[in-house]
Structure 1
Amino acid sequence: MTPVKPTVLDSFYTGELGFMVTSVRGAIHEALERELAPFELTTPQYVVLNCLAKGWGRTLSDFCRVLAYDSGAMTRLLDRIAAKGFIRRVENEADRRSYLIELTEQGQAALPRALAACDVAMRRLLTGFSEDDAQTLHKLLSRVLINAKTD
């Protein structure tokens, strides 16, 4: 009897999906690190600046959720970005126990260069993708995220 060859879906069930997603995340991180290095920005620092620019977060806990960092690690990261002059902490009028993060003028000036570096990295990673490929990738990754939230 000929053994049944496992399907791709079978391999995903046994961990290949997690391995692939982790590998892709690592490749994205490395590509961004290479492009951001001339600006003395790391990928996590860029993510914080980009989130601020897009209005996706302003508090320590916002950034902890985005980067999956604990509050201690995020505080240290914010300290390093602030030391570079890209962000500042301001009083949070709604909650005196916390503060809000905002871009400085220097951070606003650095952002277009960092965005352009990100664009270069992402275009390289998506070389050979058609618009249909990109739409399919988006649709499938979105479905995985939706399924993850329904557990």
Structure 2
Amino acid sequence: MHVRLGMLLRQAHRHAARAFAEALAPLDLTPRHYGVLLVLTRDGVSTQRDLIGQTGSDKAGMTRTVEDLETLGHVRRTPSPTDRRVAEIRLTDRGRAAFTEATALAEEVGRGLFAGFTEGELATVESVLSRLVAGE
């Protein structure tokens, strides 16, 4: 039974990720880009190392993601005032606007994915997944 649950979680993740990726495509964003925009919106400023830790990305993937976002004009990298070897990464106004638009799309995708569930069912799923992630 546990193997089946693991497989269902993986399939559910892939289904939701695919729907989210399709929704973000017109903005030239990917879910990976969105994750970085989310962290920067929350934290204001970050470093590539911190973004890797926050998103679970690898170094090469994060380098590409930050470069993509910089090319799109969504982030700006500047040398850290305390350590010139480290770049601080910040959202630009364009990045904040892209995040707002992407979040609206994410909410729309979520409404579509969960339309057939009651509030109670969604609360139960959220509770169970939170406990799983917390390792309880």
Do the structures match in fold with TM over 0.5? yes
Aligned length: 136
Q: Distance in 2 between matches of 1:55 and 1:131?
A: 30
Deviations 1:41-92 (A, max 9, x none): 1111111112211228722122223332211221111101110111111222
The alignment's C-alpha RMSD in Å is 1.8
CA shift in 2, pair 1:117/1:137, >3 Å:
same
Return the match for 2:71 from 75, 83, 87. 83
Q: Distance in 1 between matches of 2:40 and 2:69?
A: 12
Q: Distance in 1 between matches of 2:113 and 2:71?
A: 31
CA shift in 2, pair 1:26/1:56, >3 Å:
farther
SS for the counterpart of 1:97 is: coil
Identity within the alignment, %: 30
In the alignment, does 2:116 pair up with 1:128? yes
Q: Distance in 2 between matches of 1:98 and 1:120?
A: 37
In the alignment, does 2:102 pair up with 1:114? yes
Return the match for 1:20 from 2, 8, 22. 8
Q: Which residue of the partner structure matches residue 97 of structure 1?
A: 85
Give 5+ residue unaligned stretches, structure 1. Answer: 1-10
Q: Distance in 1 between matches of 2:10 and 2:45?
A: 24
Q: CA deviation at 1:30?
A: 0.6
Using structure 2 for the length normalisation, give the TM-score.
Answer: 0.89
CA shift in 2, pair 1:23/1:94, >3 Å:
farther
Runs of 4+ in structure 1 off by over 4 angstroms are none
Using structure 1 for the length normalisation, give the TM-score.
Answer: 0.81
